[in-house]
Amino acid sequence: MSESKRICLLPGDGIGPEITAEAVKVLEVIGAREGVRFEFDEALLGGIAIDETGSPFPEETLAKAHAADAVLLAAIGGPKWDTTDPTKPRPEQGLLGIRKALGLYANLRPVKILDALNDASSLKAEYLEGVDMLIVRELTGGLYFGASGREDGVEGAASGGGEGMRAYDTMEYREYEIERIVRVAFDAARTRGKKVHSVDKANVLESSRLWREVAHRVAADYPDVEVVDQLVDNTAMQLVRWPAQFDVMVTENMFGDILSDEASMLTGSLGMLASASLGDGTALYEPSHGSAPDIAGQGIANPLAMLLSVEMMLRYSFEMHEAADRLAAAIEAVLADGWRTRDIADASTLPQKMVGTKAMGDLVAEKL
Ligand code: IPM
Ligand code: MG
């Protein structure tokens, strides 16, 4: 009798369904080889969920996610649902909703340079030497989840005076929220380069000053790990000046959102950045990129961030480390052979080695 693992699939919007198909393809090969039966249970999230149910995060999706051993999410959102009207549902509410509902406070985004992609980076190869970092982004608090709203008829809010509209978002953290995410970072650093950059804006923000105090309290439990406080604006600069200085970086939700997009360009493309969102229950895996509506349906999206997210799922949720290593090696081998999707192609890419989403998935599956 073979072991079975239930995966809740959330293909979402845009290129989501295309890259999800490649993940399923690759998981089926891995399952057959490892004697593990992966059972897929598809559910709605984001724009498609709004279209079909009116809600970006239907009840049924939460139930399926809870019932699964892991959740694999592709991407959500698109211009079709973009609105600034606060009374209309938005796909992003689905994503934030499932993160919160599953208690996924720790978002791990590894940034590793694959030799084959040195030339795809926007930085010169010499700056990429030794780059291997893990961004630990707090995911269920901070600016994304603090009090927010709009108020009409606010005296003096209109240009030129008079009544107008005020809108606000609040960055707030409780001690325990900071402590648990900082611990994730220190625990990870212990298994890696033993250095943690705690990124904040303590020269301006009160929530950052609390962040810094708590980070240092936690650091005392990890005398073997070096801790560096770094201001977020400086971090944005250091990421392109000397990215190899980072081992583990831990930061507030929105800071991490911004810095991880920036860091993804070191690898050559946002299409290469995977992520794992962990909490105390079922974990969720998703590429860090969006739904790329501009190229949706064309079969040219890069499925590798999705496949690298599958790799993280095999490691963190299923403890299938050998299979994960094999998947990582297969991806590297395909790239080393010169195969490229459009986003990671460079001047040296042979035209006959430019492939689409499906072909890239096939190549990885074959190498397995
Ligand atoms: C990400 C994305 C999301 C975020 C969006 C789609 C809500 O940018 O996962 O980084 O801001 O967290
Ligand atoms: Mg983002």
Instruction: Answer whether 252 contacts ligand 1 (Cβ < 6 A).
Output: no
Pairwise CA distance, residues 49 & 91, whole Å? 8
Q: Delimit the domains of the chain by residue range.
A: 1-104+279-368, 122-266
Pairwise CA distance, residues 229 & 247, whole Å? 13
Lowest-confidence region among 193-207, 224-238, 345-359: 345-359
Confidence of residue 1 (pLDDT cuts 50, 70, 90): very low
Q: Which residue has the tokens 């982004």?
A: 137
Instruction: Answer whether 277 contacts ligand 1 (Cβ < 6 A).
Output: no
Residues in the chain: 368
CATH number of 1-104+279-368: 3.30.1540.10, 3.40.718.10, 3.40.640.10, 3.40.50.12780?
3.40.718.10
Identify which of 10, 73, 92 to mutate to test ligand 1's pocket (most ligand atoms within 8 A of the CB): 92
Q: Which of 194, 261, 362, 367 is catalytic?
A: 261
pLDDT at 4 over 60: yes
pLDDT at 142 over 80: yes
Confidence of residue 148 (pLDDT cuts 50, 70, 90): very high
pLDDT tens per residue, range 313-333: 999 999 999 999 999 999 999
Q: Same fold for the domain at 1-104+279-368 and the one at 122-266?
A: yes
Q: What is the pLDDT of residue 193?
A: 97
Following DSSP, what letter does each residue of 245-311 receive, concatenated? G-SEEEE-HHHHHHHHHHHHGGGT-GGG---EEE-SSSEEE--SS---GGGTTTT----HHHHHHHH
Instruction: Answer whether 257 contacts ligand 1 (Cβ < 6 A).
Output: yes
Domain covering 122-266, topology: Isopropylmalate Dehydrogenase (3.40.718)
Query: In 10 A of CB 112, how many CB atoms?
Result: 16
Average model confidence (pLDDT) across the chain = 96
Q: What is the pLDDT of residue 247?
A: 98
Query: In 10 A of CB 33, how many CB atoms?
Result: 11
| 294 in catalytic set | no
Q: What is the pLDDT of residue 151?
A: 95
Residue 309: nearest ligand to its CA? 1
DSSP 144: G
Q: What is the pLDDT of residue 269?
A: 85
Pairwise CA distance, residues 60 & 92, whole Å? 17
pLDDT tens per residue, range 345-358: 988 889 999 999 99
Q: What is the pLDDT of residue 354?
A: 96
Instruction: Answer whether 95 contacts ligand 1 (Cβ < 6 A).
Output: yes
CA of 278 to the centre of ligand 1 (A): 15
Instruction: Tell me the mean pLDDT in the region 288-310.
Output: 96
